[in-house]
Amino acid sequence: MASKECARKPVTSIYRPRRPRSSPLFGLFEEHFDRFQVMYEELFEREYGPLRPVVGKVVEKYLECGIVENGFARVVCSNCKAEFLVGFSCKVRMLCPSCHAKRLNCKGRDSRIDSFNALG
């Protein structure tokens, strides 16, 4: 539920959009992952086995995460009618810091609720 103060504050004080392209991890994957995939067979496959196809899919989803150009939801404050866009998330566990943190937060909240319910 929106606070009554939201009309007086800029939207960024309520919601701070992610800037995934400015992340060092994003830059690392964007610049080097294609080359890693090409070199993997020669350098690592003998010791670690073939690179599973899911790895490329996960990295691709991560590189699209939170970028408005790849899809978004328009959020409107019901109180002050301020609007902003939220890029869709990749929901990738472990690789994407934002989605992983969100998942851990939800899981922690759910376990606290379960613990509280067990007391009652």
Give the other-Cβ count within 10 Å of 79's Cβ.
Answer: 13
Residue-level pLDDT, tens digit, the chain, 120 residues: 444 455 545 544 555 667 888 889 999 999 999 999 999 999 999 999 999 999 999 999 999 998 889 898 898 888 888 888 888 888 887 888 888 887 777 766 556 555 555 655
Q: Provide the whole-model pTM.
A: 0.67
Take residue 55 and report the two structure tokens written for it: 């790895």
Residue from 67, 59, 70 nearest 95 by CA:
59
Which amino acid, one-letter code, is at 74? R
Residues sharing a CB contact under 8 Å with residue 28, sequence separation 6 or more, in sequence order? none
pLDDT, residue 82, reads 83
Inter-CA distances, 113 with 65, 100, 102, Å:
29, 20, 17
